[in-house]
Amino acid sequence: MIRHHIPGLRRRADPARKHRLRLLVSAALLSGVIVFVISARTEQLPQAAQAAQAEQPQPATQAAEQLQLAPPTIAYLDADEQPAAAPADAPAGNAQVRHYTVQPGDTLSGILDHFGLHKTMRHLLALKKKDRKLLANLRPGRPLELTIRDGALAELIYRPSRIEHIIVSAREDGYALEKRLLPVETREVFASGVIADSLYLAGRKAGLSDKIIIEMGELLGWDIDFVYDIRSGDRFTVLYEESYVHGEKWKDNHITAIEFLNRKKTYRLARYTDAAGKTDYYMENGRRVRKPFLRNPLEFKRVSSHFSNRRLHPVLNKVRPHRGVDYAAKRGTPVRATGDGKIIHRARKGGYGKTVIIRHDRGYSTLYAHLSRYGRGQRVGSFVRQKQVIGYVGSTGLSTGPHLHYEFRVGGVHKNPLTVKLPNSRPLPKSKRPHFRKTTRDIFAKLNLINQAYLASLGEAANNADGADGEPGRP
């Protein structure tokens, strides 16, 4: 394989160094900006810490902490970011800088009054309409900084987001407004994990944000049912981008690639932008990830949040005979059409309770039962798109508790939704494949490399655990 072409991997043979460090080195060799996010399986964040992390909009990844990537909080304006209007020649003693955090319901004129700048608003009204608009809806929680000189507003800096600065500065003939965007740096990051309970928990453990976990679940969800198909020991590696502002993490961007081992089958997909600039996700063989049918009518987010602290397969006891599949979910969970089609039934249907049936192309139809209510603005005959909400989970009809009963029929014949072979999306046309292969080759090679490094680390972790606390995963 590619192993001996990559110097970084050879370092794995050196037993004297900690595996984590070695992985970092391999990774660094691969790409100057790559960061290895990996948590040893023995390290479990305390629940409280997890919860706290979940509440932070931008949780720092463990890697960022381990590597000290992000410097300590920095002043939001660097020297070179000083607003142009900060007059260097003004006597410093005259100027006062006041800091304020926007409160719910605040208006700019209210804030100016609060600081004794009663006359300023009138001048600000002379700003262009589109500039005034930027100051019209201040976001609660965001910072404002006012420089007051000789009782008048010299400068106002409002930061509606981490990367935007709106600067209002006094000029001879009134005020001028300037909007600045801070430079954003993108870094490529990867994480790997083995599933013990759920992809969600494994993702958290690997330091992934909810956003990335959900994106991963939705992408893999085209092929894998995250309620029924997932097994303990399934493995993932995900490659994604993070944005940094002044060395501080700002947010997660999109996923670049995923490798997922589900039971014995490996799925590898990557984000690809074609020559025409259109971006979508494709499997390594060129098949589009998106398909004519979803595996599962519930959002990954709903399914996973519902059972994130339970064991696998938290579904209701099956009642036999059973011609569909049941998904336990909270009442009111949105139910999505698994494919484009036309609603041909939308009413109570005996033991099914409130039921929607959709007819799709090529003789396919799907049924959704026990709904608490239907999708808005739809009726029999309505055309619905894939992922459109057509109802909400309930327990109408013969049902022991809130759940979705889902059936899949081909040519009127019931098929097991879990095992039925769903139509695939069309592969990339032959003419586009060379570009696809050329563009994604590096990324799949990177996935390989990371995976091998990760597997090696798993092996070491298992050896170091004296066999007492070995990996639950594969040999």
Binding site for Zn ion (CB under 5 A): 326, 405
Q: What is the b/e burial string over 206-221, where b = at least 16 CB atoms within 10 angstroms of the residue's CB?
A: bbbbbbbbbbbbbbbb
Beta-strand relationship, 383-384 and 334-336: unpaired
47, 201 Cβ separation under 8 angstroms? no
Task: Give the rounded distance of the alpha carbon of 361 from its chain centre.
Answer: 31
Distance separating alpha carbons of residues 205 and 238, to the nearest angstrom: 13
Q: How far is the CB of 436 from Zn ion (least distance, A)?
A: 41
Q: How far apart are CA 213 and CA 219, in angstroms?
A: 10
Q: Minimal distance in Å, beta carbon 406 to Zn ion?
A: 8
Closer residue to Zn ion (CB): 56 or 317: 317
- Please, where are the H alpha helices in 206-254? 210-220
Instruction: Provide the phi-psi class of 140: left if phi over 0, else alpha when psi is between -120 and 50, else beta.
Output: beta
**Residue 354 or 446 having the CB closest to Zn ion:** 354
Q: Which is nearer to Zn ion, 175 or 352 (CB)?
A: 352
Minimum CB distance to Zn ion, residue 215 (Å): 29
CB of residue 324 to Zn ion, shortest distance in Å: 5
Residue of 232, 147, 165 lying closest to 473 (CA atoms): 232
Query: Nearer Cβ to Zn ion, position 235 or 405?
Result: 405
168 and 202 Cβ atoms separated by less than 8 Å: no
221 or 417: whose CB is closer to Zn ion? 417
Minimum separation from the CB atom of position 393 to Zn ion (A)? 12
Closest distance to Zn ion from the beta carbon of 404 (Å):
8
User: Could you tell me if residue 452 is left (phi over 0), alpha (psi between -120 and 50 degrees) or otherwise beta?
Assistant: alpha
Distances (CA, A) of 221 to 201, 272, 300, 366, 466: 16, 18, 7, 17, 36
Q: How far apart are CA 404 and CA 372, in angstroms?
A: 10
* Cβ-based nearer residue to Zn ion, 219 or 369: 369
- Is the distance from CB of 463 to CB of 36 less than 8 angstroms? no
Q: In the complex, what is the shortest distance from the CB of residue 346 to Zn ion, in angstroms, rounded to a whole number?
A: 19
Least Å distance, CB 405 to Zn ion, is 3
